[in-house]
Amino acid sequence: MQFLFAPVWGQLSDRIGRRPVMLISNAGAAGSYALFAIASGMTGSTALWGIVASRVFAGICGANLSVASAYIADISPPDKRSAGMGLIGMAFGLGFIFGPALGAFSADAFGRQGPGWVAASLCAANFILGWFILGESKNPDSQPATARPKFAQWTHTLSQPRLGLLIGIFFLATFCFTCFESTFPLLVKHGFNSQEKDHRVGYLFTYAGVIAAVVQGGLIGRLVKRFGEQRLIFISLLIVAVSLALLPFQLHMAGLLLSLGLFAIGSGINRPPVFGLISLNSPANEQGANLGVAQSIGSLARIIGPIFATTLFAVKPTLPYLICGGVALVAAILTWYRLCKTSQPVVAGKPQSVG
């Protein structure tokens, strides 16, 4: 659903404004989790189809990340655009850290329906907060957005050389991350070959999430100032390539923590500068649409990656990590020759060729 609807929300926000789209999607999210809670109290096929419907609805509403990114782009000066995108990544990281714990607590306290009602309440509170404090970020004097069918918007965005390149790099980076995410619990169990280590997977994910959140929330701005967006993307992909190649061969916890920490750093510093450059190379009236296409491509990677990785893992556990390490290395080389060596000064809202 996020693959299908991220460009739709983004383009709609370019036309009618960010605020109404954020409010509508947050209200819809509250409704989707309420449906999830109700379905969780049912049994049989009725419960199953109710949960499926709630996830479809939640996926549609959750595709508003492109609008949130466009909002950040609207209110951030060009030199702080990537740092602003990092805050979104930090928020996601913290959500993935605390969300499972809150879900488990609410299930223990309120029963099977507890997580749904708690999530619905949080979304409703988000809607109310947004209603009172969220102003419109889109400049009313900006040129009106061009209304395009969804696939025409894809063609328009991806046909622009630099935007197409950046979105392609984002796809490859996201693909590598989802391959890791979907096979890492299997890798830990296989590598340590002990049932007592299974519970550590959650702690290891939390460890990686904390590192990524710290990097995205506190260091991105400084790193961009020192290296620039293009070189920071290159460095991040190199770190991801090395860490993925190391991960499947770690038989001791110290080595696993070191490799996992490197991966968290590399993946944590990748998305903000990529989205910062996508924003800087998009006209003001196409921020939402272009960022929506990028988010949609990322969702496509999250669809394909787990199927690819788990299939290879069944053949040989090291295969998905070595292949994805190679993919990240190819993406790094592509970044170096198509972005770093041909980089020109970026002017916000003026897409450029990549040579």
**H or E element in which residue 108 lies:** helix 81-110
| Residues 194, 201: Cα–Cα separation, whole Å | 12
Residue 18 · residue 70 · CB < 8 Å: yes
- pLDDT classification of 273: cutoffs 50, 70, 90: very high
Write down the pLDDT at residue 315. Answer: 95
Strands, E assignment, the chain: none
Buried b (16+ CB within 10 A) or exposed e, 172-191: bbbbbbbbbbbbbebbbbeb
Q: What is the mean pLDDT of residues 325-340?
A: 94
Q: Is residue 279 part of a domain?
A: yes
| 90-105 pLDDT per residue, tens | 888 888 788 888 888 8
Buried b (16+ CB within 10 A) or exposed e, 36-55: bbbbbeeeeeeeeebbeebb
| 28-43 pLDDT per residue, tens | 999 999 999 999 999 9
Vertex 202 angle, CA 33 and 102, to 5°? 35
Q: Which structural domain range is residue 32 located in?
A: 2-134+151-340
CA proximity to 328, closest of 177, 182, 209, 211: 177
Task: Indicate the range of 98-107, 217-226, 346-355 predicted with least confidence.
Answer: 346-355
Write down the pLDDT at residue 189. Answer: 83
| Residues 328, 324: Cα–Cα separation, whole Å | 6
CA proximity to 83, closest of 285, 226, 293, 208: 226
Q: What is the mean pLDDT of residues 117-142?
A: 90
Return the DSSP state at 218. Answer: I
Q: Give the CATH number of the domain where residue 51 resides.
A: 1.20.1250.20
| 229-241 pLDDT per residue, tens | 999 999 999 999 9
Total structural domains in the chain? 1
Q: Is residue 348 part of a domain?
A: no
Residue 85 · residue 264 · CB < 8 Å: no
| Close Cβ partners of 335 (under 8 Å, ≥ 6 residues apart) | 169, 230, 233, 234, 237
Structure-token pair, residue 244: 């993925």
228 backbone φψ class: left, alpha, beta (φ>0; ψ -120 to 50)? left
Write down the pLDDT at residue 347. Answer: 47
Write down the pLDDT at residue 51. Answer: 95
| 3-26 pLDDT per residue, tens | 888 888 988 988 889 999 999 999
Write down the pLDDT at residue 351. Answer: 44
Write down the pLDDT at residue 353. Answer: 46
Write down the pLDDT at residue 194. Answer: 52
Write down the pLDDT at residue 20. Answer: 95
Q: Sign of the C-alpha dihedral, residues 153, 304, 233, 4?
A: positive
> At residue 53, does pLDDT exceed 70?
yes
Q: Is residue 296 part of a domain?
A: yes
- pLDDT classification of 143: cutoffs 50, 70, 90: low
| Residues 212, 260: Cα–Cα separation, whole Å | 11
Q: Is residue 321 part of a domain?
A: yes
User: CA neighbours within 13 Å on the CB side: how many for 215?
Assistant: 24
Q: Sign of the C-alpha dihedral, residues 124, 100, 55, 291?
A: positive
- pLDDT classification of 170: cutoffs 50, 70, 90: very high
Q: What is the mean pLDDT of residues 301-327?
A: 95
Q: Is residue 207 part of a domain?
A: yes
> At residue 309, does pLDDT exceed 70?
yes
pTM over 0.95? The answer is: no
Q: Sign of the C-alpha dihedral, residues 204, 262, 276, 339?
A: negative
Write down the pLDDT at residue 333. Answer: 95
Q: What percentage of residues in the chain have a pLDDT greater than 90?
A: 51
| Residues 252, 234: Cα–Cα separation, whole Å | 29
Residue 69 · residue 88 · CB < 8 Å: yes
| Residues 34, 40: Cα–Cα separation, whole Å | 10
| Close Cβ partners of 67 (under 8 Å, ≥ 6 residues apart) | 9, 10, 13, 18, 21, 22, 25, 288, 292
What is the number of other CB atoms lying within 10 angstroms of the CB of residue 22?
A: 24
Return the DSSP state at 350. Answer: -
Q: Is residue 139 part of a domain?
A: no
- pLDDT classification of 174: cutoffs 50, 70, 90: very high
| 284-308 pLDDT per residue, tens | 888 888 999 999 999 999 999 999 9
> At residue 344, does pLDDT exceed 60?
no
Q: Is residue 141 part of a domain?
A: no
Write down the pLDDT at residue 325. Answer: 96
Q: Is residue 346 part of a domain?
A: no
| 184-220 pLDDT per residue, tens | 989 988 776 554 455 678 788 888 888 988 888 878 8
- pLDDT classification of 354: cutoffs 50, 70, 90: very low
Return the DSSP state at 146. Answer: P
